[in-house]
């Protein structure tokens, strides 16, 4: 049972009372050593505190329905966790924490009285904090203030050495820091304009799920990764220099003009693009699904992954050297122009009728299901782990089934084929006739 004290005067006064409180409330009590020092500070004395407590170990006083912290902690050589209580103030919290400081899930409106130095991360999510005033002087790792009521970046220092999560607030004013050496997550806020003091973000800048329309008033000059997905952006003019990762997915963007030409990952999924002109020329992973593309013209000449599902593309013409190709739900009718070797090939839900021009080597995954296949010849020489060529409904339409490649002796290949049939007999019938062309009549006898 929790011991309740008046927030000001009825706090534990003696060392024995403090020890008893810690025994009841600190879930890590058995692993801790405590030291006590008499308080001389007038303000703390006026709040009913008599001793400062140094803790060698963790303090875990979460989920005890506390509406105040009735002890004054000083140094905590471990973690300090007062989360999921009913705290409206951090008065009583330690001056310094050697591990993480966690106060999430309370009723806090301010960070006043939080530790001055935290040699870990600060977790203050799911409160009602409305400003960035009273931040610790030093945070070694991350600051998490998502799901609060913060309106602006005022209160942040000009240069930030740690990563900060401010997602799911009501931020609209970006005036504050100039250089951020970690990540900053500003997703799911009320940002409409990029009139900001921020010039450099050395890692990830996440502005997704806001109301941004363009970059015209932005002062942001450089970032390693930029996410502006789910906004109202219709132009990339004056966008910042992005080194590695750029996502502009789910925007009313009709042109890739001004897009960076060299990236590691580019995502323009679910925009209004009918061409990849001006898109990245050097890129490892390229996602352009769910647009209005009719061809792969201007796609990169070489990349690790190219994903363009849910478009109107009818041919692989213009495709470069790509290891992983995700092309489902288009209007592709044949496999011409594909590379000779790929890792993954997904051409499901297209209009492909035969396997002519299929890559000779598919190292991991092949999916040709839900196509009007009628001629099962020209198999690849090798397929790695997963094979989905046809489903039950497709197989009735097949007129030819002939194996002439080295895949005839590939157990893994046929094991995968087996799993597409209802029973072993169906599979054995095919194996018996591997080198024969199957007539439509013969297929129907298989009762697939």
The DSSP secondary structure of 186-244, one letter per residue, reads --SS------BS--EEEEEEE--SS----STT----EEEEEE--SS-----TTPPEEEE
pLDDT, tens digit, for every residue of 28-75?
A: 888 999 999 999 999 999 999 999 999 999 999 999 999 999 999 999
pLDDT, tens digit, for every residue of 288-302?
A: 999 999 999 999 999
Nearest to 85 by CA among 7, 19, 199, 175: 7
pLDDT tier for residue 413 given thresholds of 50, 70 and 90? low
Roughly what angle, to the nearest 10 degrees, separates helices 411-418 and 424-432? 130
Q: Which residue has the higher pLDDT, 410 or 62?
A: 62
pLDDT, tens digit, for every residue of 185-210?
A: 999 999 998 888 788 888 999 999 99
pLDDT tier for residue 169 given thresholds of 50, 70 and 90? very high
Q: Which residue has the higher pLDDT, 425 or 56?
A: 56
Is residue 281 packed enough to be buried (19+ CB in 10 Å), middle (13-18) or exposed (0-12)? middle
pLDDT above 70 coverage of the chain, percent: 83
CA distance 307 to 230: 19
pLDDT, tens digit, for every residue of 87-139?
A: 999 999 999 999 999 999 999 999 999 999 999 999 999 999 999 999 999 99
pLDDT, tens digit, for every residue of 352-381?
A: 988 899 999 999 888 888 888 877 677 777
pLDDT tier for residue 13 given thresholds of 50, 70 and 90? confident
Name the pTM for this structure: 0.85
Q: What pLDDT is stored for residue 445 in this prediction?
A: 38
């Amino acid at each position: 049972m929790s011991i309740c004290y008046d927030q000001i005067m009825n706090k534990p006064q003696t060392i024995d009372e403090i020890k008893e409180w810690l025994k009841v409330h600190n879930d890590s009590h058995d692993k801790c050593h405590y030291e006590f020092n008499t308080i001389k500070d007038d303000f703390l004395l006026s709040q009913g505190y008599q001793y400062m407590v140094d803790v060698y170990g963790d303090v875990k006083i979460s989920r005890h329905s506390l509406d105040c912290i009735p002890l004054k902690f000083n140094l905590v050589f471990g973690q300090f966790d007062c989360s999921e209580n009913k705290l409206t103030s951090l008065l009583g919290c330690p001056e310094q924490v050697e591990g993480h400081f966690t106060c999430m899930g309370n009723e806090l409106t301010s960070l006043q009285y939080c530790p001055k130095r935290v040699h870990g991360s600060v977790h203050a999510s799911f409160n009602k904090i409305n400003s960035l005033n009273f931040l610790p002087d030093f945070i070694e790792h991350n600051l998490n203030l998502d799901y609060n009521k913060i309106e602006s970046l005022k209160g942040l220092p000009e240069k930030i050495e740690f990563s900060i999560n401010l997602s799911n607030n009501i931020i609209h004013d970006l005036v504050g820091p100039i250089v951020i050496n970690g990540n900053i997550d500003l997703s799911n806020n009320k940002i409409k304009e990029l009139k900001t003091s921020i010039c450099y973000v050395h890692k990830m800048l996440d502005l997704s799920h806001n109301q941004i329309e363009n970059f015209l008033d932005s002062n942001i000059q450089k970032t390693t990764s930029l996410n502006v997905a789910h906004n109202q952006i219709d132009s990339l003019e004056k966008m910042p220099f992005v080194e590695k990762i750029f996502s502009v997915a789910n925007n009313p963007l009709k042109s890739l003009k001004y897009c960076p030409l060299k990236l590691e990952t580019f995502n323009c999924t679910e925009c209004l693009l009918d061409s990849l002109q001006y898109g990245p020329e050097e890129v490892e992973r390229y996602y352009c699904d769910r647009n209005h593309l009719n061809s792969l013209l201007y796609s990169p000449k070489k990349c690790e992954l190219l994903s363009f599902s849910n478009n109107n593309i009818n041919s692989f013409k213009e495709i470069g050297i790509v290891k992983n190709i995700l092309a489902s739900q288009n209007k592709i009718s044949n496999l011409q122009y594909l590379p000779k070797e790929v890792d993954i090939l997904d051409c499901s839900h297209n209009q492909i009728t035969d396997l002519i021009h299929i890559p000779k080597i598919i190292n991991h995954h092949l999916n040709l299901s839900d196509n009007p296949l009628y001629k099962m010849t020209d198999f690849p020489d090798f397929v790695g782990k997963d094979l989905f060529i046809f489903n039950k409904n497709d197989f009735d339409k097949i007129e030819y089934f002939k194996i002439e490649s080295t895949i005839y002796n590939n157990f893994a290949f046929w094991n995968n084929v087996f799993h597409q049939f209802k029973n072993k007999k169906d599979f054995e019938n095919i194996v018996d006739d591997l080198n024969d062309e199957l007539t439509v009549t013969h297929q129907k006898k298989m009762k697939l």
